[in-house]
Amino acid sequence: MSEVSVTTVHIFGREYKIKGYADKSYIERIAKHVDEKMKEVAESTSMGSQERVAVLAALNIADELFQESKRNSDTFSSVEQRADQLITLLDRCLLTEK
């Protein structure tokens, strides 16, 4: 297991020190994504509080996660269905060869 490191990031104009085992560049990429989402929300709504912007950004990020998860699930189901069809076809071919 790697060592805990501290990475300083800037999100929506504020500095945060993030402790974690993940690579610093990974933490920076995540922070950049959160920062971009917060800026998008702030630009598309009447500014409101920073807390409101953070919650709306979190909802947008959660939506992205759920949508990606559904796409992955749909893809897996499709591949699984195709694999079942191929197994059935192979079984038929093997039975006719005997």
Domain boundaries, the chain: 5-97
What is the predicted pLDDT for the residue at 98? 63
Q: Are the beta carbons of 55 and 45 closer than 8 angstroms? A: no
3-state secondary structure of 11: strand
* Tokens at 49, concatenated: 């509080």
Run means of pLDDT, 10 residues per run, the chain, 98 residues? 89 96 96 97 86 95 93 84 88 80
The residues near 3 (Cβ < 8 Å, ≥ 6 apart) are: 21
Q: List the Cα angle 90/91/96 in 5-degree steps.
A: 100
What is the predicted pLDDT for the residue at 36? 97
What is the predicted pLDDT for the residue at 92? 85
Within 13 Å, how many C-alpha atoms sit on residue 51's CB side? 0
What is the predicted pLDDT for the residue at 11? 97
